Chains A and B, each alone.
Chain A
Amino acid sequence: MPSIRTALLAAALPLLVHAAAHAQGSPPPRKRLDVITQGMTPAQVRALLGEPIRTSRDGRLTYLYYANGCVGCADDYVVVRDCRVVGARFDNPNRYVARADSMDATAPPPAECALAAAEPARPPVRLPDPLPADSLRHAPAGPRDLNPGGAPPAERRPLVAPDGPTAPGAPEAPAAALPQQDPRAWRAQLTLRRPVTHLVAVPAASISSPTAFGSQQGEAFVGAAYQARTRFTHLSDGAFVLGFGLGDRQRYVGLEVAATSYSTLRGGGPLQTGGLSFKLHRALSETWGAAVGYENALDWGGSDAGHSPYAVVTHIFRLKPDATQPVSALAATLGVGAGRFRTERDVVANRKTANVFGAVGLQVFEPVSVTADWNGQDLFAGVSVAPARRIPFVVTAGFADITRNAGDGPRFIVSAALGFRYLPPFFF
């Protein structure tokens, strides 16, 4: 018998030595990673992580909580909405949540939506579980994203609380019940009062030629013009205008209507001589506009302005992205028209022709522009200033007929106009 025991021990010894060597030198078996993917059903979550230690609801969201062994941390949780996982937060390093590129939109079977059958009782030694909001508040930044089987995130909160004191969080305040009041009162109370939007003043880009931009619904303007002397005389003259817009220039078309009182200073007085002008205009883009118009389509009192149909386009060249910077924009206008846009020779000969007109305005500073304007008869040049940034009041001064093409030499001219809204809010 001793020989048999000796033989058995001799046979077992190599096996024990091999087992001991294996236990000391080989790596431990790898732990399984639990990957929760967006779109999973609660049943799939339970199959992977087991029964939750508790569940809670917040609106349409359901939270499934799982213990994670992290001292001082809130429990891990999975967020479910409409029977699908929409997110999770894990402190357990063996749990990960993976973002799904596209979630299954089909409704899972009711059995798949079952949450924990019974909420296990909390261990008596544990502190009361925080509310979901508290867990959000105190939870450390978990896995920022999501790696279905990839490398774990670089930073992980340790599962053991650090020796030093933890950073104090903000004190908690009880949630107060909100009073019941009229929804309109709530809307008024909750509407952000600022930032507000103001009208902004921008200088003019033409002096005599019409541009392709105009007023639309809610916008109006008043203005006055003065010339130190008219052609071939030493007598000054002035005019006034009141106009308004209709329509929507961006979605459809805008219509600008302007009533002008001519010869107001030296004639019979306001509105004794005048004309009614129309312009249909459309914004083709932020920088392009097109318009057709008819100046003095209706007139009275013997005005010598004549009837002037025209078509015009305007383009804004953005020289700098910031309009507050110097030399930020250039506005170019090109059109063709009859009536006053004809050459002086054709006007005198009463030839029914058409002629080209155009204007170029350079925004030198945000409130200042310089403009050269060829209206088909003579060249205008001037400076336009919007002195108050929040008030659309524009003054333009310069000289007409500086090339002596029509008339008897340069003449000083000036105009001033104010834009406003005729529908409230007048200034917004």
Chain B
Amino acid sequence: MTRATRSTLAALAVLALAAAPAGAQTGNQSDITGPVITGSGPAGGSFLGAGLRSENELFGRAADAVVFRNARIGCAVRGAEAAYRDSVAREPQTPAQRRVLDLLAVNADRPAADPVAAAVAAALAHGADPGSPLGMAARRLADALDGLMRDRGGCAQARQEYTEAPQWREAIDAFQHYVHDAPDSAFSPPAPELLAIHAALQRVVEEALRRRGR
């Protein structure tokens, strides 16, 4: 037990002795004359709105806009993207991976985006009508991935300068939405493109979170 711990315990003991029971008082003199704890106010949170607040590891909000939680996160994401582009440049790619990496603008010789996005969306839709929930979820995901990992240069000073943050948030949300809400038929088995998307997003996000701590 350290000296500081012993001192703290001694102080608490003195405090307990000082709080010995006393006779009751007349109204308005004791129960509401200190910090009033008839609600969650003492637990804080008012500066961010009501009740408990949560914070995402990557994202935050600046006014009404989605931004990275801080500039360091934005820099880590760009660094992770660059590392990923370099790593896959020499890796063998299946046709599905190529389509996805073309859509993400990871591949250097990226063709026109529209046909690639249409091809990826069609693969994710598993033949469903474009207006169906699965078709729309597939299209949303394909659109969110368009150019997501293109080379945007180095790091910026302020988190608002990382304008790709909303697209990253949308890409992750669209992917999660697809995985959680697509019918079982979309996983019997899933489109190879979906696995390629998962691998790309997961790898960059993990690497970004790892770099954040550097």
Contact of A283 among B29, B50, B70, B96 (CB under 8 A): B50
Contact of B43 among A221, A348, A369 (CB under 8 A): A221
Contact of A181 among B52, B122, B172, B189 (CB under 8 A): B189
Q: Evaluate whether A396 and B35 lie within 8 angstroms (CB atoms) in the complex, with A140-B111, A190-B190, A213-B51 already known.
A: yes
B184 to chain A, nearest CB (A): 4
**Interfacial residues of chain A within 195-231, with CB under 8 A of chain B in the complex:** 195-211, 213-216, 219, 221, 223-227, 230-231
Pairwise interchain contact B46-A237, C-beta atoms closer than 8 A? no
Pairwise interchain contact A233-B122, C-beta atoms closer than 8 A? no
Pairwise interchain contact A133-B98, C-beta atoms closer than 8 A? yes
A273 to chain B, nearest CB (A): 7
Pairwise interchain contact A170-B35, C-beta atoms closer than 8 A? no
Give CA–CA (A340, B198) in the complex, Å.
58
Pairwise interchain contact B46-A178, C-beta atoms closer than 8 A? no
Pairwise interchain contact A214-B57, C-beta atoms closer than 8 A? no
- Across the two chains, which residue of chain A brings its CB closest to B55? A200
Give CA–CA (A203, B20) in the complex, Å.
30
- Residues of B with C-beta under 8 A to A175: 94-96, 192
B89 to chain A, nearest CB (A): 6
- Residues of A with C-beta under 8 A to B36: 207-210, 225, 295, 340, 375
- Pick from B18, B51, B99 the residue with the most CB of A within 10 Å: B51
- Across the two chains, which residue of chain A brings its CB closest to B128? A60
Pairwise interchain contact B44-A392, C-beta atoms closer than 8 A? yes
Contact of B187 among A187, A194, A207, A237 (CB under 8 A): A187
Contact of A237 among B30, B91, B111 (CB under 8 A): B30
- Pick from B44, B54, B94 the residue with the most CB of A within 10 Å: B44
**B19: Cβ under 8 A from any A Cβ:** yes
**A36: Cβ under 8 A from any B Cβ:** no
- Residues of B with C-beta under 8 A to A232: 25, 29
- Residues of B with C-beta under 8 A to A411: 33-34
Pairwise interchain contact B122-A321, C-beta atoms closer than 8 A? no
> Which of B3-11, B143-151, B173-181 lines the interface with chain A?
B173-181
Pairwise interchain contact B55-A223, C-beta atoms closer than 8 A? no
0/1 per residue, A53-64, Cβ < 8 Å to B? Answer: 000001111000
Contact of A202 among B32, B45, B130 (CB under 8 A): B45
- Pick from B33, B51, B205 the residue with the most CB of A within 10 Å: B33
Give CA–CA (A113, B57) in the complex, Å.
50
- Residues of A with C-beta under 8 A to B29: 230-233, 304, 407
Give CA–CA (A209, B119) in the complex, Å.
59
- Across the two chains, which residue of chain A brings its CB closest to B158? A322
Pairwise interchain contact A258-B38, C-beta atoms closer than 8 A? yes
Pairwise interchain contact A137-B107, C-beta atoms closer than 8 A? yes
0/1 per residue, B104-136, Cβ < 8 Å to A? Answer: 000111111011101100110111001000000
- Across the two chains, which residue of chain A brings its CB closest to B172? A192
> Which of A16-24, A44-52, A80-88 lines the interface with chain B?
A80-88
Contact of A304 among B30, B44, B70, B160 (CB under 8 A): B30
B31 to chain A, nearest CB (A): 4
- Across the two chains, which residue of chain A brings its CB closest to B38? A277
- Residues of A with C-beta under 8 A to B99: 133, 136
Pairwise interchain contact B111-A172, C-beta atoms closer than 8 A? no
- Residues of B with C-beta under 8 A to A139: 109, 111
A219 to chain B, nearest CB (A): 5
**A115: Cβ under 8 A from any B Cβ:** no
Pairwise interchain contact A418-B119, C-beta atoms closer than 8 A? no
Pairwise interchain contact A417-B37, C-beta atoms closer than 8 A? yes
* Interface residue range, chain A: 35 or more
- Residues of B with C-beta under 8 A to A239: 31, 34, 37
Pairwise interchain contact A213-B111, C-beta atoms closer than 8 A? no
Pairwise interchain contact A60-B122, C-beta atoms closer than 8 A? yes
Contact of B53 among A88, A196, A202, A268 (CB under 8 A): A202
- Residues of A with C-beta under 8 A to B47: 202-203, 205, 316, 323, 328-329, 331, 361, 363, 369
**B154: Cβ under 8 A from any A Cβ:** no
Contact of A170 among B33, B46, B89, B114 (CB under 8 A): B89
- Residues of A with C-beta under 8 A to B82: none
Pairwise interchain contact A233-B57, C-beta atoms closer than 8 A? no
Give CA–CA (A411, B29) in the complex, Å.
12
Pairwise interchain contact B94-A173, C-beta atoms closer than 8 A? yes
**B213: Cβ under 8 A from any A Cβ:** no
- Residues of A with C-beta under 8 A to B112: 87, 89, 141-144
Q: Evaluate whether A194 and B205 lie within 8 angstroms (CB atoms) in the complex, with A86-B114, A86-B118, A419-B52 already known.
A: yes
0/1 per residue, A390-408, Cβ < 8 Å to B? Answer: 0010101000110000010
0/1 per residue, A128-154, Cβ < 8 Å to B? Answer: 000111101111111110000000000
A145 to chain B, nearest CB (A): 8
- Across the two chains, which residue of chain B brings its CB closest to A225? B35
- Across the two chains, which residue of chain A brings its CB closest to B206? A194
0/1 per residue, A341-356, Cβ < 8 Å to B? Answer: 0001001100000000
B interface residues (Cβ-Cβ under 8 A, vs A): 15-16, 18-22, 24-60, 62-63, 70, 88-99, 102, 107-112, 114-116, 118-119, 122-123, 125-127, 130, 159-160, 172, 175-176, 179-180, 184, 186-190, 192, 194-195, 198, 201-202, 205-206, 209
Query: Can you identify 24 A-B contacts, CB atoms within 8 angstroms?
Result: A59-B123, A59-B127, A136-B111, A137-B98, A140-B111, A171-B90, A171-B93, A173-B97, A191-B176, A191-B180, A202-B48, A210-B41, A211-B41, A213-B50, A213-B51, A224-B37, A239-B34, A266-B21, A273-B31, A277-B39, A318-B63, A322-B60, A369-B47, A394-B42
15 other A-B residue contacts (CB within 8 Å) besides A236-B18, A314-B46: A59-B127, A141-B111, A170-B88, A173-B94, A200-B54, A205-B44, A209-B41, A213-B40, A219-B52, A237-B31, A243-B40, A316-B47, A396-B35, A411-B34, A420-B52
